[in-house]
Structure 1
Amino acid sequence: MAKVYFHYSNSEGVCVDQRGTAVGNLTEVRNHAARVVQSLITTQGPEDWRDWTLHVSDDLNDEIFALPFSSMLGKLH
């Protein structure tokens, strides 16, 4: 099992995941990343999440992939 970190950022700042999450494989990493983004964008509040990106990295701080929140929000009408 590996530990990965789910940081998210926009042009104004970064929220750093200090704890990390244990995962077994890349499929689990991608599924967890989607759940993190979905959880944040469905939270009540004034935040516009379109400019945010989730950065998934390993314990050496090497980025595995990035997931723009906009990819899960859809387009504005």
Structure 2
Amino acid sequence: MTQVYFHCSNTKKVFVDRRGAVVDDLAEARDHATRVVQSLIHEGSPEDWRDWVLHVSDDQGDELFVVPFTSVLGKSH
């Protein structure tokens, strides 16, 4: 099990995850990352999430992978 953190950023803002989550593997971390993105998108904020990216890092601060919000939002029409 590994502690991972889910930080979100765009060119103007950064949201730092100080709590993180304990996951068993990268697949579980990816599932959790998708849920974090979906949660932010659906919270009812007027924020335009298209330029946001979720950065998944381990407890040493090493980035494991990124999830662009557009991968969850889909393409705009």
Q: Which range, TM-score by smaller chain?
A: over 0.9
Query: Is 1:25–2:38 an aligned residue pair?
Result: no
Unmatched segments (≥5 aa) in structure 2: none
Q: Give, in angstroms, the shift of residue 68 of structure 1.
A: 0.3
Task: Look up the equivalent residue of 1:28 and give its one-letter code.
Answer: E
Unmatched segments (≥5 aa) in structure 1: none
Give the match for residue 74 of structure 1: 74
Task: Look up the equivalent residue of 2:50 and give its one-letter code.
Answer: R
SS across alignment from 1:39: helix
CA RMSD of aligned residues (A): 0.7
SS across alignment from 2:19: coil
Task: Look up the equivalent residue of 1:59 and give its one-letter code.
Answer: D
Q: TM-score, normalised by structure 1?
A: 0.96
